[in-house]
Amino acid sequence: MCGIVGYVGNEACQEIILGSLERLEYRGYDSSGIATIEHDQLQLCRAVGKLSELKVKIKEKPVSGYMGIGHIRWATHGGVTLENAHPHLANSEVAIVHNGIIENYAELKKDLIEKGCVFISDTDSEVLAHLFVHAFREGCVPVEALRFVLSKIEGAFAFAAISKSNPETLMVARNASPLAIGFADEMAIVASDATAMAHLTRQVTYLKDNDYAVVTAKSCDIFNGNNEPANREIVQVKASPILLDKAGFRHYMEKEIHEQPDAISHTISAMSDVGGNLTAGIDIPSLSKIKRIVLLAAGTSFYAAQIGRYWIEKLSGIPVVCEIASEYHYRDPAATGQTTAIVISQSGESIDTLMAMRHAKNLGLDTFGIVNVADSTIAREADKILPTRAGPEIGVASTKAFTAQLVVLICLAIVLGKQNGHLDESRVTYLYQKLLKIPGAVGKTMKLFDPIRPIAHQLKNARSCLFLGRDMLFPLACEGALKLKELSYIHAEGFASGEMKHGPIALLEDGLPIVSFVSEGKMALKAISNLKEAEARGGYIIVIGTQVAVDLIDFAAAKIVIPDCEPIFAPIVGAIPVQILAYLTALEKGTDIDQPRNLAKSVTVE
Ligand code: M6R
């Protein structure tokens, strides 16, 4: 994680860099800082905590100059302290900002200390600053200094460095962590993503792995890992120049929950052609090549994958496996023939998912990406993109991106079933017509805030909570548990209802909250017996389902009624009450809803 920015141009850089850091705040909020150069002197301002702390500090003691770098930190190496906040300076000569992990920092640091370097922080990043100082003292020009530093370090990184001996030159490089360079008249800006520079320019170049560059206000020389000049395309990005606001809601999460009817209908449109036929945006030859699927993702996106697996196998008969991206990346999967890898990522930057996709590519698999951020690394590297149209998601807890991912997956499942004859035309039409009703059903769930409020009030005192579901509602139970733990810090786990008696039932004690999805139909009776067993052991039973389904559970302590929908779409509609439950419980507890402790929106470290 962490976000980095660098600016060189003809305007005072403090406010420009702060503006970029605001747009990068989703990447971390442990500390932040800015370093600038003016009159051959480095100036530094850093603060622990959110960016607002830096703004307060910098108001009292501004930094000046026309070139500078900035950083927003999500701590990896070294605690959350001022000393560990970036930028890191060495000998008041060089300042650096870094995103990623320098894996061989310990041996480099030992060597540099032996040479007389004094380290201030516990971070891995500080070695970069000392290596640059060493290079400049050896007489290197910026490009040589970059080559020297890159020859020494191993790991994942995107960094920017400035040196008072070269007060008009930014030195930048990347490997595995993202880095973009934006251009406009008489200025250049580098940042972890294009949104961070959208207030200045839309003309952007993305560095590739192992690229490095020497950037001034008027020039940009990019080199590849073989030290050859590299021509990287300049693209026009669509990122909004306007900072998103909360539109009257208390939190981005609350706003994003309410945006789901739109996110879902926009995503359905993206999955349909101009004639209103479902295509998932994939041509027929590509569709018919798909014989087996591996779904790769992390966190909430992984739970979307697991629901997608139920749908694809049910509607198309195509075998699907789901793999946690960080595990797949290091596995040697045995059977890969005719398998398509579909990676799912809101940000398109999760390093685990990106690495898993690259691993799949190396194994010879076609790669599809279900991605929300259109100009992200995964979106650029996947063979094909199935976009979610959720719009920018700022709250760390994923809400509208999750339901949009589900929409893409159900559309893909229907289209695959139609293509291979598993579904006949009338069934496809029926499902599509029912799918078009989902934005309306999700709209009705927004009325659930009031009925869920007393349940959240009750839940806030719980030490632990279980979520249960069967069939395609089992992964949704896991997603409900993840939402509750990341927002309210209450321990929560999701289980398949039928699995309780195989062990988890031992956890039951008086008053333990059990949130259970219940459905109509053949699974209902099984769910009732599982819940009866839990209630008999003191469980506080909260059920979520349609009116008909919850009416079957007359012993429930609380009921959350979702609007009627075709049962196969229940995971989409059922997602909203667990988001609301987690949101309201966090509100009761007073936790930091949009930026929960220890988390970041985009996880770019392994
Ligand atoms: O951007 P991605 O979808 O790749 O992110 C994956 C997870 O980090 C993410 O879903 C995480 O679990 C969220 N905080 C869940 O709310």
Per-residue model confidence as pLDDT tens digits over 520-573: 877 777 778 888 888 888 999 999 999 999 998 989 999 999 999 999 999 999
Per CATH, is 274-436 categorized as 3.40.50.10490? yes
Hey, which CATH number is domain 3-248, 3.60.20.10, 3.30.230.70, 3.20.20.70, 3.20.20.300?
3.60.20.10
Pocket test for ligand 1, best of 192, 324, 346 (most atoms within 8 A of CB): 346
Tens of pLDDT, residues 1-16? 689 999 999 999 999 9
Burial class (CB in 10 A: 0-12, 13-18, 19+), 433: exposed
The predicted structure's pLDDT at residue 27: 83
Report, as an integer, the average pLDDT of 270-298. Answer: 90
The predicted structure's pLDDT at residue 293: 97
Q: What residues does 558 pair with on adjacent strands? A: 542
Question: Could you check whether the bond before residue 87 is cis, i.e. omega within 30 degrees of 0?
Answer: yes
The predicted structure's pLDDT at residue 528: 83
3-248 against 445-606: fold identical = no
The predicted structure's pLDDT at residue 1: 67
The arrangement of strands across the sheet holding 3-9 comes to 41-48, 31-38, 67-73, 3-9, 187-191, 180-184, 203-206, 235-236
Q: Which atom of ligand 1 is nearest to the CA of 603?
A: 8
The predicted structure's pLDDT at residue 332: 85
Nearest C-alpha neighbor of 67 from the set 239, 205, 214: 214
Q: Which atom of ligand 1 is nearest to the CA of 298?
A: 6
CA of 297 to the centre of ligand 1 (A): 9
The predicted structure's pLDDT at residue 367: 96
Q: Give the residue, by CA position, lying nearest to ligand 1 atom 4.
A: 345
The residue that leads in pLDDT, 576 or 209, is 576
Pocket test for ligand 1, best of 347, 479, 583 (most atoms within 8 A of CB): 347
Q: Residue 275 pLDDT more than 80? A: no
Which distant-in-sequence residues (6+ apart) come within 8 Å of 425 by Cβ? 418
The predicted structure's pLDDT at residue 242: 52
Q: Give the residue, by CA position, lying nearest to ligand 1 atom 12.
A: 299
Total residue count of the chain as it appears in this document: 606
Which token pair is 572? 């989409």
The predicted structure's pLDDT at residue 246: 78
The predicted structure's pLDDT at residue 244: 63
Instruction: Give the span between the Cα atoms of 298 and 529, in whole angstroms.
Output: 32
3-state helix, strand, coil in the chain (%, to 5): 40, 25, 35
Q: Kindly list the domain boundaries of the chain, sorted by start residue.
A: 3-248, 274-436, 445-606
220 carries an active-site annotation? no
CA of 323 to the centre of ligand 1 (A): 15
The predicted structure's pLDDT at residue 241: 54
Pocket test for ligand 1, best of 253, 350, 479 (most atoms within 8 A of CB): 350
Q: Which of 94-98, 146-150, 594-598 has the lowest mean pLDDT?
A: 594-598
Average pLDDT, the chain: 93
Q: Which atom of ligand 1 is nearest to the CA of 601?
A: 14
Active-site residue among 109, 152, 400, 601?
Answer: 601
Q: Look at domain 445-606 and name its CATH class.
A: alpha beta
What residues line ligand 1, using a CB cutoff of 6 Å? 298-301, 345-347, 350, 353, 396-398, 486, 599, 603
The residue that leads in pLDDT, 419 or 332, is 419
435 confidence band (pLDDT: 50, 70, 90): very high
169 confidence band (pLDDT: 50, 70, 90): very high
CA of 600 to the centre of ligand 1 (A): 9
467 confidence band (pLDDT: 50, 70, 90): very high
The residue that leads in pLDDT, 95 or 534, is 95
Instruction: Give the span between the Cα atoms of 515 and 229, in whole angstroms.
Output: 58
Q: Are β-strands 292-297 and 67-73 bridged in parallel, bridged antiparallel, or unpaired?
A: unpaired
Q: Residue 509 pLDDT more than 90? A: no
CA of 305 to the centre of ligand 1 (A): 12
Report, as an integer, the average pLDDT of 359-385. Answer: 93
Q: Which atom of ligand 1 is nearest to the CA of 297?
A: 4
The predicted structure's pLDDT at residue 268: 92
CA of 302 to the centre of ligand 1 (A): 8
CA of 551 to the centre of ligand 1 (A): 34
Q: Which atom of ligand 1 is nearest to the CA of 397?
A: 16
Pocket test for ligand 1, best of 74, 257, 300 (most atoms within 8 A of CB): 300
CA of 397 to the centre of ligand 1 (A): 7
Active-site residue among 2, 13, 117, 322?
Answer: 2
Q: Which atom of ligand 1 is nearest to the CA of 401?
A: 3
240 confidence band (pLDDT: 50, 70, 90): low
503 confidence band (pLDDT: 50, 70, 90): confident
The answer to whether the CB of 399 falls within 8 A of the CB of 445 is: no
- How many angstroms separate the first and last alpha carbons of the chain? 9
Tell me the pTM.
0.81
Report, as an integer, the average pLDDT of 286-306. Answer: 96
The predicted structure's pLDDT at residue 194: 87
Q: Residue 190 pLDDT more than 90? A: yes
CA of 298 to the centre of ligand 1 (A): 6
Q: Which of 273-282, 293-302, 448-457, 569-578 has the lowest mean pLDDT?
A: 273-282
Tens of pLDDT, residues 485-501? 999 999 999 999 888 88
601 carries an active-site annotation? yes
239 confidence band (pLDDT: 50, 70, 90): low
243 confidence band (pLDDT: 50, 70, 90): low
The answer to whether the CB of 273 falls within 8 A of the CB of 411 is: no
Instruction: Give the span between the Cα atoms of 69 and 2, in whole angstroms.
Output: 13
Q: Give the residue, by CA position, lying nearest to ligand 1 atom 14.
A: 397
The predicted structure's pLDDT at residue 335: 63
Q: Residue 475 pLDDT more than 80? A: yes
Q: Residue 431 pLDDT more than 90? A: yes
The arrangement of strands across the sheet holding 166-175 comes to 88-90, 94-102, 155-163, 166-175, 212-215, 220-223
